[in-house]
Chain A
Amino acid sequence: MVKPKYTKEEIISLLSVIPDPEIPVVNIYEMGMLHDVLIDESGYEIVLTPTYTGCPAMGIIEQDIKLTLAKQGIKPVKVKLVYDPAWTTDWMTEAAKEKLSRYGIAPPLHSSCTSDVFAHNVIPCPRCHSEDTVIISRFGATACKSLYQCNDCKEPFEYFKCH
């Protein structure tokens, strides 16, 4: 039996540098996608929760994880996708939301998603903080974002949808 050389905390801190491929200003840990690290004699299992079922970034993230750990000589590594519990924007850290906002993406509004499916919410502009904004497109360049425009500073911006 080989005793694993790294602790869960060490693995998480190594993986925390991996950026979200589509929003490189935040990393996979603060986004809540890196769900768990399981360590036993047979190796390291990294548990990921996809943000969206069809998120094309998951394959890239899996590769990044394997590459990052391989560089440290950490093996064997297995990456597992789990749907339970379902990823939610509630898992994003406050630091991640702050980074998104400074990057020009309005962070998800609620601590938990509104249950009223048809409600339209006021999304403050991440640049001038005006609440006079209008939705341009409910869907944007990635599955997780909508497009808005600010009526005060006139800048268009992305909103990270509540999920």
Chain B
Amino acid sequence: MNTITKQQALYKYSLRLGDNALIHSYRLSEWCSNAPILEEDLALTNFALDMIGRAQAILGYAGQLGDMEKTADDLAYRRGEREYYNNLIIEMPNGDFANTIARLLFVSVYEFYFFSELQNSSDPTLAAIAAKTLKEVKYHMAHARDWVLRLGDGTDESRSRMQAAVSALWMYTGELFETDEAAAILQDANIAVDMPPLKEKWNAIVRQILADAAIAIPADEYMQTGSSKGVHTEHLGHILSEMQYLQRTYPEAIW
């Protein structure tokens, strides 16, 4: 017996996709003017731009479901922490450059396979956004792979940092492949992506890249979870308090 309707499921599913793009974009934007080299500053902010565009498209769609009539901005700036559904790995602090790159690798490989499937969704809007996003994610993934190989197969310092980053983030990767109630309902309608096959594909390529980079692959032990219930780490609240400050202080503010 389902506790939510199909439309509520679609709303939640879309929010998760939108929130992952929005919060990852926020994190990558933090590198603006702080990246180790100018080219990297350009790359990370280019990704942030792709993601903010994706967030706008998906949250805009979510806000128009049913008779809600909410804009992408309403959803980005007027929801509390427990109403956000981005995966925990997305909200983790940037850490050092290796840490940001490790997350980019895990997430972009996941998104590459995820959007490859979602472009065949029976929901035409999600399918169209997925087809568009897929083209962009290919560049994110190629870039992350290049850096993992370079840092892993680089100096002692770079390898130890890359290894530390992979080891620290590994326990946040399991959550990417969870199927919550919303996803299960939408899978029956051929809207959502089937996760178990995705995990296999992700594992194959990520493990290959880490092996090529001479990075040890952590054991699949305890995996963190919570975001599908809106339960987050302390870090999301800090992001939102900064991101939503202006709209909460001046609720009618527009560009």
User: Does B57 belong to the interface (CB within 8 Å)?
Assistant: yes
User: Does A99 belong to the interface (CB within 8 Å)?
Assistant: no
User: Does A25 belong to the interface (CB within 8 Å)?
Assistant: no
Interface extent on B, as a size class? 20 to 34
A-side interface residues, number (CB < 8 Å):
26
Q: Which residues of B are found within 8 Å of A83, using beta-carbon distances?
A: 57, 125, 128-129, 131-132
Q: Which residues of B are found within 8 Å of A85, using beta-carbon distances?
A: 128, 131
Q: Are A54 and B42 in contact (CB under 8 A)?
A: no
User: Does B49 belong to the interface (CB within 8 Å)?
Assistant: yes
User: Does B252 belong to the interface (CB within 8 Å)?
Assistant: no
User: Does A23 belong to the interface (CB within 8 Å)?
Assistant: no
User: Does B141 belong to the interface (CB within 8 Å)?
Assistant: yes
> Which one of B112, B129, B136 contacts A52 once the chains associate, using CB atoms below 8 Å?
B136
User: Does A118 belong to the interface (CB within 8 Å)?
Assistant: yes
The digit string for A64-102, where 1 denotes a CB below 8 A from any CB of B, is 000000000000000000111111100000000000000
For the complex formed, measure the closest distance between the CB of A82 and the CB atoms of chain B, giving whole angstroms: 7
Within 8 A of A (CB), among B168-191: none
User: Does B139 belong to the interface (CB within 8 Å)?
Assistant: yes
Q: Are A143 and B49 in contact (CB under 8 A)?
A: yes
Stretch of A7-15, A31-39, A133-141, A149-157 contacting B (4+ beta carbons < 8 Å): A133-141
Q: Are A139 and B128 in contact (CB under 8 A)?
A: no
Tell whether A136 pairs with B145 under 8 Å between CB atoms, given A52-B50, A82-B128, A84-B131. Answer: no
Cα separation A136 to B40 with both chains bound (whole Å): 11
Q: Which residues of B are found within 8 Å of A137, using beta-carbon distances?
A: 38-39, 42-43
Main secondary structure of the interface of B (DSSP, over half): helix
User: Which residue of chain A has its CB nearest to the CB of B58?
Assistant: A53
Within 8 A of B (CB), among A102-158: 113, 117-118, 136-141, 143, 147
Cα separation A137 to B46 with both chains bound (whole Å): 12
For the complex formed, measure the closest distance between the CB of B211 and the CB atoms of chain A, giving whole angstroms: 15
Q: Which residues of B are found within 8 Å of A56, using beta-carbon distances?
A: 49
Within 8 A of A (CB), among B188-236: none
Tell whether A139 pairs with B53 under 8 Å between CB atoms, given A53-B132, A84-B128. Answer: no
Q: Are A54 and B50 in contact (CB under 8 A)?
A: yes
> Which one of A54, A140, A147, A163 contacts B54 once the chains associate, using CB atoms below 8 Å?
A54
Q: Are A53 and B143 in contact (CB under 8 A)?
A: no
The digit string for A30-60, where 1 denotes a CB below 8 A from any CB of B, is 0000000000000000000010111110000
For the complex formed, measure the closest distance between the CB of B130 and the CB atoms of chain A, giving whole angstroms: 9
Q: Are B42 and A139 in contact (CB under 8 A)?
A: yes
Q: Are B135 and A86 in contact (CB under 8 A)?
A: yes
Cα separation A161 to B43 with both chains bound (whole Å): 14
Q: Are B57 and A140 in contact (CB under 8 A)?
A: no
Q: Which residues of A are found within 8 Å of B39, using beta-carbon distances?
A: 136-139, 147
Cα separation A84 to B125 with both chains bound (whole Å): 8
Q: Are A54 and B135 in contact (CB under 8 A)?
A: no
User: Does B163 belong to the interface (CB within 8 Å)?
Assistant: no
Tell whether A86 pairs with B49 under 8 Å between CB atoms, given A137-B39, A137-B43, A139-B42. Answer: no
User: Which residue of chain B has its CB nearest to the CB of A140?
Assistant: B42
Q: Which residues of A are found within 8 Å of B131, using beta-carbon distances?
A: 83-86
Subset of 5 A-B contacts with CB under 8 Å? A54-B50, A85-B128, A88-B135, A117-B141, A141-B42
Closest 5 CB pairs of A and B: A54-B53, A53-B53, A84-B128, A137-B39, A54-B49
Give chain B's interface residues, CB within 8 Å of chain A. 38-39, 42-43, 46, 49-54, 56-57, 112, 124-125, 127-129, 131-133, 135-136, 138-139, 141-143, 145
Give chain A's interface residues, CB within 8 Å of chain B. 50, 52-56, 82-88, 113, 117-118, 136-141, 143, 147, 161, 163
